[in-house]
Structure 1
Amino acid sequence: MCRRFAIQLIAALLLTGSVGAAEVKQATQLDSFVWRHSADWFGGFSAIHISENGQSMIALSDRSILLHARIHRDGDQIAQIQITERWPVLSSTGRPLSGSTGDSEGIAVTPNGSYYISFEAVHRVAQYANPDAKAQVLPRPKVFDDLNMNGSFEAMAIDHRGWLYTLPEKNRTKQGDIPVYRWDGQAWSTPFVLPQRGKFLPVSADFGPDGRFYVLERSFVLTGFRTRLRRWRIEDDVAKAEETLFTTSTGAHDNLEGLSVWCDDQGRLRATMISDDNFLALQRTELVEYLLPD
């Protein structure tokens, strides 16, 4: 947990109870780094995981490529990214995934180094013991059958208990809310929903070191992308204290799809996001970092 957070959270709760809703503080952009590589497999990144010290990265492409990389920094700026290992994401039979079955979108890394990957098109979530492992596909409840073909599980997150959360990009409840599905190791449930606000759609999620639930959202028009980051406290399966940390103008960033929230060596909360360039020359692979308020 980031330093000072526990004391600040208690103080914030006391103030909220005595003087009403506290003022929402905004995030501050630290960096925007364009990542280039000549390999034909490079691009389409849909998910990211940053180590706590900000030096190590796991990235996942939507063509079932998983890689590890080192991030070299100059203060608050990314100076260089060095790919150290790369693997194909495997099926349950041990074959590299491809085509619609390999539309990998979200990743959630467990404390022991295993991880979960979510897939669109063929809506499912699989667990991997390590990068070379075969997929162990989780049970698929019937509700997954009705999800949008190109708008299901882009977002994945894991909480301190090891419980897994995912949410669809496009499907909504009858009330118009965003359903959040949870896997507790035994079964899927829908513990809570999030309010849909405007035309932004959720594309990534993470539980930060502060325990709050962060959701990265995207809106697209012909002139470019807009990005929004919201967060909540999850208490007794209720999403509370919603905050909008930033909302960008059109074209401020590329197609940001992956999110990782972490603490730097100064105890500050950071959000790192990565863009999916869709393997198009007009787009770019971009890593964007924001400093987040406690």
Structure 2
Amino acid sequence: MRRRFRLCVALVALALPGIAPVVLPASEAAVPAGAPHLVEMSRTAWRDGWVHFGGFSALWVSPDGSRFTVISDRGAFADGHFERTDGEIDAAVMGRHARLRGIDGVRLEGPDVDAEGLALDRDGRAYVSFENFHRVRRYDDLRGPAASVPSHPDFARFQQNSGIETLAMDAAGTLYAIPERSGGLRRPFPVYRLIGDAWDKSWTIPREGTFVPVDADFGPDGRFYLLERDFKWLGGFATRIRRFDVTPEGLVNETELLQTRFGDLDNMEGLAAWRDPEGRTRLTLVSDDNFFPLQQTLFVEYVVEG
């Protein structure tokens, strides 16, 4: 999460002390009649007394929707499980939690802690992207030391707080990385794919308006689901989710599934896709509360229709 967003939220709170976050059903967001869209199934606030709780910027959910892992932009991770009734989330229960470590095994500190993207491979190894010191690291165990992952020359040129927000891994084990900024409102976002030991940069995602990518996942249907965020000082956060088909030539057939109004949701930064017992694709989102008292950590879950 970029630090200037925290400053913006704080300034708004100071200027308008009577305003608290307004949370409305995201399923009220307008979608064309009959078009593919999302239906909200549950919305659950998550609280815990852990000193490093909050700031969750990426999410993984197990294929059956029972377990989760989140990472924090203060260099920590937590995992746990969902308590559900009739398939819908009642509560999130934390399990393991710890600070992330560097390649040397020492806990991350200072400007190196800003973890933003998360993807797990078939062997359960976690790939984490970081901002400021822009890099991707692999963790065989999130409690242990990191392992190096090849870099791309572009990574060192990313803006300080606008690096790789989005990591996703497809069924074949190819890692995808997307930065938060494209370099221009009309310029597509580059899509980096780690093929072997080198990043390929031949794919892009069209940039539509002022939304920027914050997370993504491949669904059980093989499609690519992209979570995006926008922000206004006097409006709060807006959330958009687009879906793409994956072809040998790139990401095609863009479909907008959700676009909320500003302030309808909190700062949704993590997305995970999985298949429910009815065979439907579900999307679970988590919010980054910026460690700010007027925000909250939310799990919001949707079913994909169409």
Q: TM-score, normalised by structure 1?
A: 0.89
Do 2:71 and 2:118's aligned partners in 1 also have CA atoms closer than 8 Å?
yes
Q: Deviations over 1:42-100 (max 9, x none)?
A: 10000111112111111111111111101001124311111111122110000111221
1:233 partner letter: D
Q: 1:24: Cα distance to partner?
A: 3.3
1:211 aligns with 2:222: yes
- In the TM superposition, 1:212-231 aligns within 5 A as 212-222=223-233, 223-231=235-243
Q: Deviations over 1:103-145 (max 9, x none)?
A: 0011001111111000011110011112233111212221112
- The 3-state SS of whatever aligns with 2:112 is helix
Do 2:185 and 2:207's aligned partners in 1 also have CA atoms closer than 8 Å?
no
- In the TM superposition, 1:78-227 aligns within 5 A as 78-172=89-183, 176-222=187-233, 223-227=235-239
* Equivalent position of 1:280 in the other structure: 292
1:291 aligns with 2:303: yes
* Equivalent position of 1:28 in the other structure: 39
Do 1:177 and 1:194's aligned partners in 2 also have CA atoms closer than 8 Å?
yes
Q: 1:230: Cα distance to partner?
A: 0.3
1:46 aligns with 2:57: yes
1:248 aligns with 2:260: yes
Q: 1:258: Cα distance to partner?
A: 0.4
Do 1:151 and 1:171's aligned partners in 2 also have CA atoms closer than 8 Å?
no
* Equivalent position of 1:15 in the other structure: none
1:187 partner letter: A
Distance in 1, matches of 2:124 and 2:202, equals: 26
Q: Deviations over 1:2-53 (max 9, x none)?
A: xxxxxxxxxxxxxxxxxxxxx6311111111111112221100001111121
Q: 1:152: Cα distance to partner?
A: 1.1
Q: 1:284: Cα distance to partner?
A: 0.5
Do 1:173 and 1:179's aligned partners in 2 also have CA atoms closer than 8 Å?
no
Q: 1:175: Cα distance to partner?
A: 6.0
Do 1:31 and 1:76's aligned partners in 2 also have CA atoms closer than 8 Å?
no
Distance in 2, matches of 1:174 and 1:259, equals: 24
Distance in 2, matches of 1:276 and 1:250, equals: 16
Do 2:186 and 2:207's aligned partners in 1 also have CA atoms closer than 8 Å?
no
Distance in 2, matches of 1:125 and 1:82, equals: 28
2:81 partner letter: R
Q: 1:231: Cα distance to partner?
A: 1.0
- Once the two structures are aligned, what percentage of the paired residues are identical? 37
Structure 2 unaligned runs (5+)?
Answer: 1-33
- The 3-state SS of whatever aligns with 2:156 is helix
Sort the Cα spacing of 1:173 and 1:159 in 2 relative to 1 into closer, same or farther, 3 A. Answer: farther
* Equivalent position of 2:83 in the other structure: 72
Do 1:177 and 1:195's aligned partners in 2 also have CA atoms closer than 8 Å?
yes
Do 2:150 and 2:197's aligned partners in 1 also have CA atoms closer than 8 Å?
no
Say what the alpha-carbon RMSD is for the aligned residues: 1.4
Large movers: runs of 4+ above 4 Å? none
1:260 to 254, 272, 285: 272
Sort the Cα spacing of 1:174 and 1:244 in 2 relative to 1 into closer, same or farther, 3 A. Answer: closer
Q: Would you say how many aligned residue pairs link Structure 1 and Structure 2?
A: 272
Do 2:185 and 2:210's aligned partners in 1 also have CA atoms closer than 8 Å?
no
Distance in 1, matches of 2:43 and 2:215, equals: 18
Q: TM-score, normalised by structure 2?
A: 0.86
Distance in 1, matches of 2:39 and 2:289, equals: 24
Distance in 1, matches of 2:158 and 2:195, equals: 21
